[in-house]
């Protein structure tokens, strides 16, 4: 596992590809209360870039470019949360997204296991641990265990996308998947504004 730790933004020397796997770590799961602490990025080359985010908002032009460039595909797992967190912090609109959790729920209807750990084990025969998931991501020095956990959250998303796309195409569900991916940024906006989407779509 190869990872690089940066402060507040990706360095200019990091080449930006046409697709990028992204994950976030926050102080908690409350979109209003809890701040962004770490952004994990992988361009599908078995290297993870981990960007620590300072508690004070500083410009991050390279990350902002990735998020707002409609030509760059952003791959998430449970993108609803990450898109909301990133949209709020960087005050930007994010388009061209893919969510492996949504893809799994559409393609793998024989299973109710759609977590990243389960998907990585099933498709790639790799065990990843989640021991650090609820650890303190805001502390000054992150442990090696935290950094390895953070890297593992993005290193396999490109491969999972390829496997899930095969199933979606086979089951003729790619069209509805793309429609749901396109809806994700709007859903994230509803979450940030305090709307309950289930109430909006209910009778």
Average pLDDT along the chain: 95
pLDDT on residue 41: 98
In the chain, the largest separation of any two C-alpha atoms, in whole Å, equals 52
pLDDT on residue 138: 94
- Tokens 């990706």, residue? 10
| pLDDT < 70 regions, the chain | none
pLDDT on residue 59: 87
DSSP for residue 156: T
pLDDT on residue 120: 97
pLDDT on residue 203: 75
How many residues does this entry show for the chain?
203
pLDDT on residue 174: 98
192 contacts: CB under 8 Å, gap ≥ 6: 31, 32, 84, 87, 88
pLDDT on residue 65: 96
Own/partner pairs, 191-200, CB within 8 angstroms, 24+ separation:
191/31, 191/80, 191/84, 192/31, 192/32, 192/84, 192/87, 192/88, 194/32
Q: Write the pLDDT tens digit of every residue in 124-144.
A: 999 998 778 779 999 989 999
Query: What residue segments make up the domains of the chain, in order of their start?
Result: 2-11+19-193
Percent of the chain surpassing pLDDT 90:
87
This prediction's pTM: 0.95
pLDDT on residue 199: 83
Architecture in CATH of 2-11+19-193: 2-Layer Sandwich (3.30)
- Cα 76 from chain centroid (whole Å): 3
8 contacts: CB under 8 Å, gap ≥ 6: 51, 52, 53, 54, 58, 60
């Amino acid at each position: 596992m190869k990872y690089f730790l940066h402060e507040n933004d990706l360095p200019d020397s990091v080449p930006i590809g046409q697709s990028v796997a992204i994950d976030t770590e926050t102080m908690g799961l409350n979109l209003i209360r809890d701040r962004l602490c770490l952004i994990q990025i992988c361009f599908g080359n078995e290297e993870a870039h981990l960007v620590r985010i300072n508690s004070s908002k500083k410009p991050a032009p390279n990350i902002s470019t990735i998020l707002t460039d409609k030509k760059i595909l952003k791959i998430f797992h449970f993108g609803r949360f990450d898109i909301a967190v990133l949209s709020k912090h960087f005050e930007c609109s994010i388009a061209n997204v893919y969510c492996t959790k949504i893809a799994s729920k559409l393609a793998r209807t024989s299973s109710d296991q759609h977590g990243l750990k389960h998907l990585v084990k099933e498709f790639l025969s790799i065990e990843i641990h989640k021991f650090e998931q609820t650890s303190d991501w805001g502390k000054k020095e992150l442990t090696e265990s935290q950094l390895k956990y953070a890297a593992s959250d993005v290193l396999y998303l490109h491969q999972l996308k390829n496997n899930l796309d095969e199933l979606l195409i086979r089951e003729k569900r790619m069209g509805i998947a793309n429609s749901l991916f396109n809806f994700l940024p709007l859903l994230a906006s509803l979450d940030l504004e305090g709307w309950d989407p289930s109430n909006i779509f209910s009778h």
